[in-house]
Amino acid sequence: MTQPAERINKLPGYLFAEVDRKVREAVSRGVDVIRLGIGDPDQPTPDFLIAKMQEEAAKPRNHSYPPDDGLPQFREAVARYYETRHGVSLDPEEEVAPLLGSKEGIAHISACYVNPGDVNLVPDPAYPVYGIGTMFAGGRALAMPLKEERGFYPDFDAIDRADLKKAKLLFLNYPNNPTGAVATPEFFQEAVDFAKEHDLIICHDAAYTEVTFDGGRPLSILEAAGAKEVCVEFGSLSKPFNMTGWRLGYAVGNRKAVGLLRRYKSNIDSGIFKAIQYTGVEAFTHEGTPAFLDSLRAMYRGRRDVVVKELKDLGWDLQPPRGTFYIWAPVPPGHTSESFVSRVLEAAGVVLTPGRGFGLYGEGYFRIALTVGEERLGEAFRPLKEAGIAYPS
Ligand SMILES: Cc1ncc(COP(=O)(O)O)c(C=O)c1O
């Protein structure tokens, strides 16, 4: 029997398999399960984008292969968005690459830079794709712990100097999944200066850039001085426009990095349906977009406030996150992240994500996704209270 490749065998086991099994069991018992696990928006794509898609999908000229480098109109719309939103000027010809969702570019960037034995610096806890892309390219992911006492920023001084010499890529993600931390301009500048000093390319995952609260302006790492020399930023239409299923994102920034990614991709995929790219142009340029994004932020802020209040009532000492639609909180003493998530599911029918699923340093935490309405979120806490689940003082 032909054996699978090592890279497939090295993929981590599915940590949520046990939780999934329990969810199925609860559903079959008739439990009204409340799913706060996966970060998939519950709201539909806005009507003005559906209308645009319907119009573009009907045009025969959109039914053929798209250009490998993406539609110039889409690249130009991304560049204009960066100019108006972030004051960053991008050359749409060479500094923008459309992606089949940001995950695709994040997974493939390592193949463009990493040789066997090279190291990538990867935050922990984190979206698992940074480490998996590194491994697929034959590299080693070196964890940079994100600790609460450091505001969930990595400590660059703590990175082993021998590993640093072998390092190629530095992954960052703010607003951060799963911790909800947002970056300051000072932190982004520190990261850019560090990357220059140590000859690294920063891969900044900006999937949640538009989801910030409390006056926090959405920031791009490309706003930092000299950033384009060392940074490529990955953006997504998934979360700001409730378009997770459409698969549309982009990579912007360093010309060389964007060029390598385009070259790599042109050999393994054949681009994004033109009608979807035109819909992306509409998302960036429609007059209704700023109001839509404001309402999206208001919705998640409202949900965040409900959950933070409920958790505080149960004894958790928690700062409301300033970005993303996640709440990251410690499990009560005596629990692992998985045992706590199982207990909550069994006692209350509420699905959470165990922090361990995001890395070793995620142990001791759980994540709540704010992907159901305020009323339903409130309902999730009633059975928790009845079951006596709390954070002891
Ligand atoms: C931190 C982070 N980055 C990237 C993505 C991928 O988003 P997409 O591929 O839909 O653009 C996600 C999705 O959940 C995410 O949480």
pLDDT at 14: 64
Give the C-alpha separation, 333 to 347, whole Å. Answer: 18
Find tokens 């639609």 and name the residue. 325
CA–centroid distance, residue 30 to ligand 1 (Å): 32
For residues 172-176, average pLDDT: 98
pLDDT tens digit string along 156-167? Answer: 999 999 999 999
**Mean pLDDT in residue range 349-359:** 94
Q: Which pair of tokens denotes residue 381?
A: 């806490």
DSSP string, 292-308: HHHHHHHHHHHHHHHHH
29 or 243, greater pLDDT:
243
Give the whole-angstrom CA distance, residue 37 versus residue 307. 14
pLDDT of residue 192: 98
**In angstroms, what is the span from residue 243 Cα to ligand 1's centroid?**
11
Question: Taking residues 70-78, what's their average pLDDT?
Answer: 98
Residue ranges of alpha helices (H) inside 99-184 are 102-113, 129-136, 161-166
pLDDT digits (tens, 9 = 90+) for 256-280: 999 999 999 999 999 999 999 999 9
Q: Is the CB of 120 under 6 A from ligand 1?
A: no
Q: How does pLDDT run across 25-55, given as a tens digit for each residue?
A: 889 988 889 999 988 999 999 999 999 999 9
Spatial contact of 82 and 222, defined as CB atoms under 8 Å apart: yes
pLDDT of residue 41: 93
Q: How confident is the model at residue 95 (pLDDT cuts 50, 70, 90)?
A: very high
How many angstroms does the Cα of residue 222 sit away from the middle of ligand 1? Answer: 19
- Give the chain's mean pLDDT: 95
Q: Which residues contact 330 (CB under 8 A, 6 or more apart)?
A: 316, 364, 365, 391
Question: Which atom number of ligand 1 is nearest to the Cα of residue 247?
Answer: 10
CA of 61 to the centre of ligand 1 (A): 30
Q: How many angstroms separate the CA atoms of 159 and 163, rounded?
A: 7
Nearest alpha-carbon partner for 368 in 382, 383, 381: 381
Q: Is the CB of 102 under 6 A from ligand 1?
A: yes
Q: Which domains does the chain have, with CATH numbers?
A: 6-44+290-386 (3.90.1150.10), 63-285 (3.40.640.10)
Q: What is the mean pLDDT of residues 242-263?
A: 98
Best residue among 38, 152, 233, 236 to mutate for probing ligand 1's pocket (most ligand atoms within 8 Å of CB) is 236
Q: Is residue 73 lining ligand 1, measured as CB closer than 6 Å?
A: no
CA of 374 relative to ligand 1 center, distance in Å: 23
Task: Tell me the two tokens of residue 214.
Answer: 């409390």
Helix (H) or strand (E) holding 250: strand 249-253
Whether 179 lines ligand 1, by a CB cut-off of 6 Å, is no
Which atom of ligand 1 is least distant from the CA of 100? 9
How crowded is residue 141: how many other Cβ atoms within 10 Å of its Cβ? 23
Distances (CA, A) of 253 to 43, 106, 238: 31, 14, 20
Going from the C-alpha of 56 to that of each of 49, 124, 245, 351, the distances in angstroms are 10, 41, 17, 38
> Is cis: bond before 178, omega within 30 of 0?
yes
Nearest to 363 by CA among 340, 389, 347, 390: 340
At 87, which amino acid appears? G
pLDDT of 216 over the 80 cut = no
288 Cα: distance to centroid of ligand 1 (angstroms): 24
pLDDT at 130: 97
- What ranges in 1-101 are assigned the alpha helix state H? 6-9, 17-28, 47-57, 72-86
- For the Cβ of 244 lying below 6 angstroms from any atom of ligand 1, the answer is yes
Evaluate: CB of 254 within 6 angstroms of ligand 1: no
Looking at residue 271, what is its pLDDT?
96
Per-residue pLDDT, 26? 87
pLDDT greater than 80 at residue 19 = no
69, containing H or E segment: none
Distance 139 CA to ligand 1 centre (A): 22
Q: What does R_g of the chain's alpha carbons equal in angstroms? A: 21
